[in-house]
Amino acid sequence: MNPSNGHEAVIGGFYTESPYPWRAHTLQQPLDPELYPALLSQAVGDFGHRRVGPDGAVWVAGCGVNQALITAQRHPAARVVGTDVSEGSLALCNEGRKELSLDNLELRKEGLTAARYHEEFDYIVCTGVLHHNPDPSALLQRLAAALRPTGVLEVMVYNTYHRRNPVAFQQATRLLAGDTGSVAGTGRALAEALDIRNSLASDLAETRLQPDAAFADTWLNPYELTFTVDEFRALAERCGLLLEAPRIGPDDHSGEAALWDVVLHDAALQERYEACDDHTRWRITQLLLAEESPYNWFYLRRADAPLPAPSDASRNAAFLAARAEPVAAAQRTWALHGAEGYRVLVESSPLPTMPVAPEFRALWEHLTPERTVGQTCTRLGLPTDAQTVRRMRAQLTTPEFPYVLSVPA
């Protein structure tokens, strides 16, 4: 057994003993099978909706309990494969698959080190996996090999600035546990026994009422690595991949950190910031926001993809040149009812559910396929500087903010 396989076995056992996240209380299923594939394409600057089609092939690598279910619901016309090394997580996911009647989802007990897919998938999701292995390059190479030439790979790895306290606590807990083998018991006891005033103690105080599985996931994980955005970029490039665009995490609904952006109240500095290439700007943003910076959660592409070079500038230009209209869709809501499992709670309700960000509401209300987005901005007197347009795209046209769809020619 190579070291990567050994660590996968350890991680699989850890999440079988402490499945996390546990089953979602509610799940939303869009009724339009083309909606989320189109939004995903828009997130990487494809307003012609060609990068990820509704009937493609999708792989959720390290799917856990919920992620394969969410992905299969959002891509109902696609063939979705979910893999994981945790038998416990897969068992819970399979219960959900049956209850939700997700016939498009196939689950497999398989680690990334055993995966041998070759250019099989249009869209691959792998979040929270690579940082639990001592050789993330080996795993990322498996993902790269499985991606079709123009496909989209979505990856999240731990942000160094977020994990300093958890890593310190993990190390202290293991030193105290010694040969007892009781890491979980030692960790809980240590969290209760600490009587110091620092950011670590403050973070731990918020966990006192957490269920054991949630506490273990954050504070007792048996192995983890962390990355700056620069280190993540280097890892990707070693595997023949490029960071294409940031993906806003599920908890990031507004604010500076969510958008990989900072506003500098000095015109000369802001101009220099905007003149930077995307990677330099992301580095500056992470360094300045530090522990408040976003997840290292990005869309990636193959370096040899037969596509124009990716950049925020090109994505902004494509957005302003697109003809678009507000999304008017519907979704079905499922709720978890104890031993009965998932049952339909609301057969149909409007999607999107949240109001548009106030600064972009006027644009959203006036969009029409008769004019480009840029023309509508001009008519309304809205600014179209690079930072404003980045924010428009992020908060109007992505899977996390499903308010606007382009109308391809």
Q: What is the DSSP letter of 237?
A: H
- Local confidence band at 181 (pLDDT 50, 70, 90 cut-offs): low
| Six token digits for residue 105 | 């989802």
Instruction: Give the count of beta carbons closer than 10 Å to the beta carbon of residue 150.
Output: 15
Q: Is the pLDDT of residue 30 over 90?
A: yes
pLDDT at residue 256 above 70? Answer: no
pLDDT in tens, 325-375: 999 999 999 999 998 999 999 999 999 988 898 999 999 999 999 999 999
pLDDT at residue 5 in the model: 60
For range 64-84, the mean pLDDT: 97
* Cα 290 to Cα 210: distance, rounded to the nearest angstrom: 25
Q: Look at residues 318, 298, 297 and name the one whose alpha carbon lies nearest to residue 307.
A: 318
DSSP assignment of 93-111, as one string?
A: HHHHHHHTT-TTEEEEE--
pLDDT over 70, % of the chain: 96
Mean confidence (pLDDT) of the chain: 92
The residue whose two tokens read 């992505």 is: 398
Rounded Cα–Cα distance for residues 132 and 129 (Å): 6
**187 or 60, higher pLDDT:** 60
If you search the block for the tokens 């991680």, which residue do you land on? 11
Model confidence pTM above 0.85: yes
Tell me the one-letter amino acid at 362: A
Residue 253 has pLDDT above 50, yes or no: no
The C-alpha atoms of residue 124 and residue 374 are separated, in whole angstroms, by 32
**Structure confidence by residue, pLDDT tens digits, 103-149:** 999 999 999 999 999 999 999 999 999 999 999 999 999 999 999 99
Torsion of CA 279, 281, 283, 286, to 10 degrees: -130
**Residue 249 confidence class, pLDDT cut points 50, 70, 90:** low
Is pLDDT of 3 > 90?
no
| Residue-by-residue DSSP string for 254-304 | SSTGGGT----SSHHHHHHHHHS-HHHHHHHHHHHHGGGSPPEEEEEEETT
Per-residue pLDDT at 302 exceeds 70: yes
Look at residue 255 in the predicted model and tell me its pLDDT: 43
Q: From 3.40.50.150, 3.20.20.140, 1.10.600.10, 3.40.640.10, which CATH number describes the 3-161+225-318 domain? A: 3.40.50.150
Q: How far is CA 69 from the centre of its chain?
A: 15
Q: List all residues 6 or more positions away from 340 whose beta carbon is below 8 Å from its beta carbon.
A: none
- Higher pLDDT: 16 or 216? It is 216
Within the chain, all domains assigned CATH 3.40.50.150 are found at 3-161+225-318
Give which of 293, 282, 249 is closest to 159, Cα–Cα.
293
pLDDT-based confidence at 254, cuts 50/70/90? very low
